[in-house]
Amino acid sequence: MDAEIDTSTFFGIVFSSLMEILGRETADEFIRDTDIPGQDSVDYDQVKGTQLVSELGDWLSGRYDPLSASGVLIRVGRSSLTYLRRLDEEIASLGNIENRLKPVDRRFNYSLEILGARLQEISGFQINIYQEGHREYNLKIGKPDVAGSGLFISPYFFFGLMEEFCVWLDSRKDYQISYRDIEKIEKAVINILIREME
């Protein structure tokens, strides 16, 4: 297991997840239709995560209606966590028994902090996670300059990733996850509220 995921590995994670959700043919269309170099290109390892996820969001928005595009991006994000867990030692370690035995508040405080730092490093997005209240967290994602269409749906990738991460960390809790994009601020906010199952 590799502790360091580089840009090319992140590309592989997103591309593999896109193939899993939409099939190889559609994933290849994304490469052909955008400025993203394919995995066979010598330049593909230079693609920044911000460019990759933003262009994928723009491409999906052009191909589908905004609601469907957001849904696909959520599913790609959910799928991506599986690959991240396999390839990143630090993220994988959050599933070990020592972490799982911590009280829920300490477990989530620690795990979200680690995940946020690793995601920022891996993806290139500016990501900060703040505790907002009791078992409530805000994941703030900086809007990249490369977002082309003005329709900022890139955070739906992280929305899906966070959905999958929370359930993986503790499937016995109920999670209310919401996303808001406020035009006047430069960050999108994903809010996570952890509740006991009823």
Mean pLDDT by 10 residues, the chain (198 residues): 58 91 93 73 60 89 90 96 92 94 93 94 90 93 60 85 95 90 71 87
Looking at residue 32, the DSSP 8-state letter turns out to be H
What does the longest C-alpha to C-alpha distance in the chain come to? 52
Q: E strands, the chain, where? A: 127-133, 136-142, 173-181, 187-196
Instruction: Report the pLDDT value the prediction gives residue 50, as an integer from 0 to 100.
Output: 82
In sequence order, the 6+-apart residues with CB closer than 8 A to the CB of 77 are 17, 156, 157, 158, 159, 160, 161, 162, 163, 164
Instruction: Report the pLDDT value the prediction gives residue 42, as an integer from 0 to 100.
Output: 44
pTM of the model: 0.87
Instruction: Report the pLDDT value the prediction gives residue 39, as an integer from 0 to 100.
Output: 54
Q: Is 124 helix (H, G, I), strand (E, B) or coil?
A: coil
- The residue among 28, 17, 85 whose CA lies nearest residue 53 is 17
Q: In the Cβ-directed half-sphere of 77, how many Cα atoms lie within 13 Å?
A: 26
Looking at residue 44, the DSSP 8-state letter turns out to be G
Let me know how many helices (H) and strands (E) the chain has, helices first: 8, 4
Indicate the domain borders of the chain.
7-196
| Cα separations in angstroms, 141 against 37, 40, 159, 186 | 25, 30, 11, 8
Domain 7-196 superfamily per CATH: H-NOX domain (3.90.1520.10)
Instruction: Report the pLDDT value the prediction gives residue 127, as an integer from 0 to 100.
Output: 92
